[in-house]
Chain A
Amino acid sequence: MPEPLHASKAGKGREDGRDQKAAVGRTVTASQTVPAIVRCKIRKRGERMLAYSIRRMIALIPVLIGMSLIVFGIIRAIPGDPALAILGQKATPESLEQLRRSLGLDKPWYYQYFSYVKDLLSGDLGTSIRSGAPISREIWPHLAATIELSFVAMLIAVVVGINLGILSAWKQNSAIDVISMVIALVGVSMPVFWLGLVEQWAFSIKLGWLPSIGRDDIRDPVAAITHIYLLDTLLSGRLDQFWEVVRHLVLPSIALATIPMAIIARMTRSSMLEVLRSDYIRTARAKGQKMVWVVYKHALKNAFIPVLTVIGLQSGLLLGGAILTETIFGWPGIGSYIYDAIQFRDYPVIQSGILIIALMFVLVNLIVDLLYAVFDPRIKYK
């Protein structure tokens, strides 16, 4: 309404405004008591969200304690003497005794547990028996490799899965719908290791398009800074290496992404179908909004809430899948780190590796919980 606005800017609107207020005041009475509540609700939303986040984190403390107890227990529950297992059958009783004392195994279990937790809190994950190096330093490159692979895989799964689901729902019963749901069905029933091997055979061996092993070109290794190679290559300005890292990521991340992608696509479709039938979608269309925006702005934001649950669950499962994928694609992640440790009976490494994976699982769930608060304004902060 450009014209009236100019007129009012010229100063004419002032007394009219007073008329307006009077007129409005006459017509409304009952609803005037309500907004006080509304206002206090609005003012508090930010605070409530912060309080909610803090509460979620505090709720994690018992989970973390339980987790550390279980990891601690698993190692002790393995039959036999760890010192003997470490030193082997030919060890002398003196050396065994010495090792036990240095591992703290001569103390009662609760004493051992508390010193274990104390070490954890100070960032000490113990020492690798195999290499003699502190695990906290050794584990990060592996962890970074796993994080990079899982993150890229989840990104593919979420972006492709959601769009496939949206397209199917939007063009329900069309060819697009049928095709993408067939893809989703096939995807969900394909074992990760099988898909990985087929990919390697087709794209690496037969077509020779993509590398099938490792994170980078061994003739030109990436200079590690953060150990997230996508970042490192960019930080050191090596675009050629960045491209090489991307090429190495393609096959394992697709193998890893396929199942969550398929599940996310199906969830998005059914959630979207329901949302597209709702009244507020009709309202948005009645405003004259383009269908693309109706779908991506109005519908997706609502349909995404149940999809988020699935994403959270799948991210957790992805960590398991990552270990399998890493073995197939020679990916030097935490999976292969633990795998090697098992071969060498490197107990401290196994223990810390499991702990780190469990921690990542908890962390992913925390992030999903916090995202709910971002996406759903109606969430009860309890």
Chain B
Amino acid sequence: MRFGKNIFYYRSYNVAIYVGLAAKGGGLLSEPILAVKGLKTTFYTDDGQVPAVDGVDFSVRAGEILGIVGESGCGKSVTSLSIMRLVSAPGKIVDGRIVFNGEDITHASEKRMRQIRGDEMAMIFQEPMTSLNPVLTIGQQLVEAIRIHRKTSKREAEAQAAEWLKLVGLPRPKDLLKSYPHQLSGGMRQRVMIAMAMVCGPKVLIADEPTTALDVTIQKQILNLMKKLNRETGTAIILITHDLGVVAEMCDRVIVMYAGKVVEEGPVKAIFKNPAHPYTKGLLASVPDLRNRKKRLYSIPGNVPKPGEITNGCPFHPRCEWAMDRCRGSLPEWAALGAGHRARCFLHDMKDGIAPGKGESHGGTAVNR
């Protein structure tokens, strides 16, 4: 291996610091590498406007793994595509700011975005079966990813591509370079996708449900690989998933999304031990408990609302068992719960503090870290 470990020294100046901090679940000192403020992305469809992302705030620190969870349709994918500025018509970013590495890219030119995409910010998608171009070889696609951003010869790029295939755990990279996607299994394709996203050493990797389409053992392998790459290269990862087990295992911090909004945010430990928002509690309670299999699986009552369906008050109020009058009246503000933990719920906004969630009802003990 010609440059093996050196990949891991890439950007080592910040890796060393952040890995240490991230490992302790901290990183409070570091500036966010990516900050999303009040992001609103709306689809202008024939049936009216669909505010798929409706005022999302969060930030990602260098080297950390941030989880985004929420039920299907809550706007996770649209959020990530908005960050990459890849939302296509009829969708449009209508408000808010995306600050990447100190630069406001909300209205950056397409040319500038092309420089960022794939180089400083990369993305992998849910469907490994369809995310690779079926008529180009793995080698052609990897070499392209390198040569868009680096002035290397084709042979050099091929060597790097082979190196990366090895790094993501694919044996016989020389042969793989010549093969076509349909000759690979789903797990292998997702490894290729990861290699392709990582070749330029991005600062942020957005993984939109990277393992949902894979079977359980392969899921585990892919997640381990991502965690390893995160630790060794210092690439921050935004991990979008439905699976709270994955969040518990992988992430440093989590944001919980509901109907295009962030409803709770905090360090993984805090969220799992002390979920503050009733929606988060519901999500946690619907995770099967392996030690108590007889317990009936909880599911949040009601249906996921369509974006823009609920216009008054807290978007969760039709399904919330603690819903009060004021919940229907206005949108709750953020309530700070200490150590980077906050939730958007009136229950925590009360002066007299009858905040629920301390051991009662379906609490957050279903999953342990």
Residues of A within 8 A of B (CB): 1-5, 7-9, 12-14, 16-21, 23-24, 27-28, 30-32, 34-35, 38-39, 41-42, 278-280, 282-291, 297-298, 301-302, 305, 375-378
Contact = CB atoms under 8 A, between A and B. Distances in A.
Interface stretch (B48-56, B221-229, B249-257): B221-229
B122 interface: yes
Interface stretch (B66-74, B143-151, B301-309): B143-151
Contact of B172 (A16, A35, A278, A305): A35
Nearest to A282: B86
Contact of A31 (B125, B185, B193): B185
Given A1-B150, A30-B187, 5 more contacts: A21-B166, A30-B218, A38-B172, A38-B176, A286-B86
Given A1-B3, A4-B9, A302-B133, A287 B118 contact: yes
A19 B4 contact: yes
A1 B86 contact: no
Residue from the set A1, A9, A297 with the largest chain B CB neighbour count within 10 Å: A1
Contact of A21 (B1, B118, B224): B1
B148 A287 contact: yes
B334 interface: no
Interface residues of B, number: 65
Contacts of A376: 135
Given A5-B6, A17-B1, A17-B4, A31 B127 contact: no
A374 B6 CA distance: 39
B116 interface: yes
Given A30-B217, A30-B218, A286 B122 contact: yes
A1 B10 contact: yes
Contacts of B218: 30-31
Contacts of A19: 4-5
B361 interface: no
Interface of B: 1-7, 9-10, 84, 86, 110, 113-119, 122-123, 125, 127, 130-137, 144-145, 148-150, 156, 160, 166-167, 169-172, 175-176, 178-180, 182-185, 187-188, 191, 193, 196, 201, 217-218, 221, 224-225, 228
25 contacts: A1-B6, A1-B7, A8-B4, A12-B6, A14-B1, A16-B6, A30-B187, A30-B221, A31-B191, A31-B221, A35-B175, A38-B179, A42-B178, A280-B133, A285-B86, A286-B86, A286-B117, A287-B145, A288-B114, A289-B118, A289-B144, A297-B136, A298-B136, A301-B136, A377-B182
A32 B144 CA distance: 26
B169 A27 contact: yes
B83 to A, nearest CB: 11
Contacts of A3: 6
Contacts of B228: 23, 27
A35 B171 contact: yes
B167 A286 contact: no
Nearest to B224: A27
Contacts of B196: 283, 287
